[in-house]
Amino acid sequence: MNNNEFIEKIGAMAKEDMKKTKILASLTIAQAILESNWGRSSLSVAPNYNLFGIKGSYNGQSCIFPTNECYNGKWVQINANFRKYPSWAESIADHSNLFLTMNRYANLRGCTDYKLACKYVREDGYATDPSYTNKLINLIETYNLNRFDVEVVSKPVEQQTQPISTEANITYTVKAGDTLSGIAKKFVTTVDELVRINNIKNPNLIYVGQQLKIKSAQDNYYIVKAGDTLSAIAKKYNTTVSAIASKNGIKNPNLIYPNQKLKI
């Protein structure tokens, strides 16, 4: 298989994958080229089919290969366990799943700028090679890989400027020992709201078996935009940087990315 044939084969699969996952096809193809040496590396061919050098195991299957890693500016070779797949299609699907399930790759979800995606994937810790971003961008531009990028049907994430919120309307049956304040805390609402929607005249008087309507505010979300900081977002929503960082598993409060979805 020559280089053009490899691009067309992987490109078709990456394009279909992008329709489902919104992970840029051009990024997927460029990484496949770079990580597998155009599908010719021992790791990427049968019986392993690992196009992206993803370590670990897949459905309990793995293989051991030597790999070069850059630490403190020095290249060293180590032996590592890599995931073993039944096919290239499953390798591509698992590659996208990695970006969709690991919080550190949140900035790649819905990203439509291939240059930013190439920058993010390196910064997020996918590779130790300091030239990784430039290598990916060069591949995309040399072979016009962004022609495989499909338009995201849903509203682009970067255009969502307001927090996304949901409300759950339920009925709660009062039990022995319940208080309105306790119920309000349990369902993330207020005593005043419970009083209002249930027409309660005396907030201190509820009884066992009473049916209460609950309008419970669930998690609110904010989509990070270019120029945002955690401190500005915290101030906007009357909370704290530490609270947002804790709720979203953010280790470095100074490092957030456009398109990142934050629980508020």
pLDDT bin (cut points 50, 70, 90) of residue 38 is: very high
What domains are there in the chain, each with its CATH number?
Answer: 3-153 (1.10.530.10), 167-217 (3.10.350.10), 220-263 (3.10.350.10)
Q: Is the pLDDT of residue 5 over 90?
A: yes
Nearest-angstrom CA–CA distance, 173 and 189: 16
pLDDT of the residue at 155: 39
User: d(Cα 55, Cα 223) in Å, to the nearest integer?
Assistant: 30
Whether the CB-CB separation of 248 and 263 falls below 8 Å is answered with yes
pLDDT of residue 197: 86
Average pLDDT over residues 197-211: 87
| Residue pLDDT, tens place only, 233-244 | 888 777 788 888
Report yes or no: 192 and 199 within 8 Å, Cβ to Cβ: no
Residue scoring higher pLDDT (28 or 184): 28
pLDDT, tens only, 94-146 = 999 989 988 889 999 889 899 999 999 999 888 878 899 999 999 999 999 99
pTM (two decimals): 0.55
**Of 213, 206, 136, 132, which is closest to residue 172 (Cα–Cα)?**
213
Q: How confident is the model at residue 71 (pLDDT cuts 50, 70, 90)?
A: low
Per-chain mean pLDDT for the chain: 83
pLDDT value of residue 163: 46
In the predicted model, what is the mean pLDDT of residues 4-15?
94
Average pLDDT over residues 209-220: 70
Q: In this predicted model, what pLDDT tens digit does every residue of 154-193 receive, in sequence order? A: 334 333 444 444 444 577 888 888 888 888 777 767 888 8
- Bridge partners, residue 154, by sequence: none
